[in-house]
């Protein structure tokens, strides 16, 4: 029993069903009694104020296991497998942070527990909570915002609204307004005046794990005390965030240098020489703007890139080390373990 559900979720459930010889029924109309229903378990995507909530309560009272793939109806105590929305927001914040953005904002046309979690993760990357923009005031606040500004939208639909509003105001995307969505819907992201960068959710894996949890419950297993969290698989970078933002031209040029050369070995003296500055002056600029040295910034960006690339199982740790400027796998492993407490391989397979 489901609300209208996305294709990736259907594919995840179908894969588990094939592997375990389930007989599936897709029904979004189970709003009444359950006396004529002969199923063994239910996977649901429940929304607030849904007429299906009463049906779920009846299934639960009848001893039929239910697994929810959303977090909107927290008052309904059912086992859940959901996207790690806090990690999604955190990844988005890191994306802007790596591009030198300190001036950022959040945009959404609504507010729910999912919005709250994504916003909380986004806020972790910055010293203060970013401003929250809504639909009625979007154009006015976008026009008044200090530029350049990086905006994380709740999803790709909201991101498209921001791109359209910027275009109507004559603001350049991404140079004045950089926009990032969530969901990585190719239809929405690639068919805009400026293609939209977006965080990738793993809805198929979440649905597969939800089906696996339902199987355990139908077999008599116990439900987890907290929702099972499925991390994002990475971020698809498109033109809407293809920029580096900082009001100081030297800092901006240094960030460009770091990003362009991250795959080889270099240090702060080389950056300073390319800008015609002393090493001391460059470190002073970074300490003033970011609170740390140029070397710390290089290190943080290398580790952040390693984490992103580890999300792709097709890439070997050796190739990731080479792509991120580490001389060999052993050196990468030592640095990564000091930073995260895990080896690159353990990070890749965690959770």
Q: Please state, in angstroms and as integers, the Cα–Cα distance from residue 150 to each residue in 100, 103, 188, following that order.
A: 10, 6, 19
Residues 136 and 33 occupy one common structural domain: no
Q: Please state, in angstroms and as integers, the Cα–Cα distance from residue 249 to each residue in 94, 178, 240, 280, following that order.
A: 21, 18, 21, 17
Whether 236 and 220 have beta carbons less than 8 Å apart is answered as no
pTM, entire model: 0.76
Q: Which of 241, 266, 296 is the last residue of a domain?
A: 241
Instruction: Spell out the residues 6+ positions from residue 330 whose beta carbon is closer than 8 angstroms to its own.
Output: none
Residues 194 and 90 occupy one common structural domain: yes
Residues 179 and 213 occupy one common structural domain: no
Residue range of the domain that includes 325: 249-349
- Supply the CATH number for residue 42's domain: 3.40.50.2300
Residues 127 and 53 occupy one common structural domain: no
Residues 279 and 141 occupy one common structural domain: no
Q: Are strands 81-83 and 228-230 parallel, antiparallel or unpaired?
A: parallel
Residues 183 and 282 occupy one common structural domain: no
Structural domain contains residue 319: yes
| Structure token digits, residue 186 | 């190719």
Nearest-angstrom CA–CA distance, 337 and 339: 5
Residues 229 and 334 occupy one common structural domain: no
Structural domain contains residue 156: yes
Q: Please name which of 227, 229, 154, 232 lies closest in space to residue 196, comparing C-alpha atoms.
A: 154
Whether 107 and 161 have beta carbons less than 8 Å apart is answered as yes
Structural domain contains residue 291: yes
Structural domain contains residue 2: no
Residues 39 and 92 occupy one common structural domain: no
Provide the residue count of the chain. Answer: 351
Q: In which residue ranges of the chain is pLDDT below 50?
A: 1-3
* Segment 262-271, tens digit of pLDDT: 889 999 999 9
**pLDDT confidence of residue 290:** 83
Residues 183 and 110 occupy one common structural domain: yes
Structural domain contains residue 298: yes
**pLDDT confidence of residue 34:** 55
Structural domain contains residue 340: yes
Q: Please state, in angstroms and as integers, the Cα–Cα distance from residue 31 to each residue in 28, 40, 54, 142, following that order.
A: 8, 17, 7, 43
- Supply the CATH number for residue 283's domain: 1.10.10.60
Structural domain contains residue 196: yes
Alpha-helix residue ranges (DSSP H) falling in 198-278: 203-218, 249-261, 268-275
Q: How many domains does the chain have?
A: 3
* Segment 167-199, tens digit of pLDDT: 999 988 888 899 999 999 999 999 998 999 999
Structural domain contains residue 1: no
Nearest-angstrom CA–CA distance, 81 and 9: 12
């Amino acid at each position: 029993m489901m609300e209208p559900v996305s294709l990736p979720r259907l594919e995840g459930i179908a894969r588990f069903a094939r592997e375990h010889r389930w007989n599936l029924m897709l029904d979004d109309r189970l709003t009444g009694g359950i006396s004529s229903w002969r199923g063994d378990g239910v996977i649901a995507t429940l929304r607030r104020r849904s007429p299906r909530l009463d049906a779920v309560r009846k299934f639960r009272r009848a001893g039929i296991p239910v697994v929810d793939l959303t977090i909107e109806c927290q008052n309904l105590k059912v086992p859940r497998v959901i996207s790690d929305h806090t990690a999604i927001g955190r990844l988005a914040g890191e994306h802007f942070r790596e591009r030198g953005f300190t001036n950022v904002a959040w945009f959404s046309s609504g507010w729910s527990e999912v919005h709250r979690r994504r916003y909380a993760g986004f806020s972790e990357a910055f010293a203060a909570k970013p401003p929250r923009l809504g639909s009625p005031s979007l154009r006015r606040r976008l026009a008044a915002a200090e530029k350049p500004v990086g905006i994380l939208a709740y999803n790709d639909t909201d991101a498209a609204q921001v791109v359209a509003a910027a275009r109507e105001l004559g603001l350049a995307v991404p140079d004045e307004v950089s926009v990032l969505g969530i969901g990585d819907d190719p239809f929405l992201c690639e068919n805009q005046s400026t293609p939209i960068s977006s965080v990738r959710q793993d809805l198929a894996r979440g649905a597969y794990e939800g089906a696996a949890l339902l199987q355990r419950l139908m077999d008599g297993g116990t439900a987890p005390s907290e929702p099972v969290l499925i991390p994002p698989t990475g971020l698809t970078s498109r033109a809407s965030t293809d920029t580096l933002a900082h009001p100081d031209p030297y800092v901006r040029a240094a960030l460009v240098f770091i990003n362009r050369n991250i795959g080889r070995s270099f240090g702060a003296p080389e950056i300073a020489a390319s800008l015609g500055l002393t090493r001391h002056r460059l470190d002073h600029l970074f300490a003033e703007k970011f609170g740390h040295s140029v070397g710390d910034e290089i290190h943080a960006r290398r580790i952040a890139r390693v984490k992103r690339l580890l999300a792709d199982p097709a890439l070997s740790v050796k190739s990731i080390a080479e792509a991120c400027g580490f001389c060999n796998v052993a050196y990468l492993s030592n640095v990564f373990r000091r930073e995260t407490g895990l080896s690159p391989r353990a990070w890749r397979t965690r959770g």
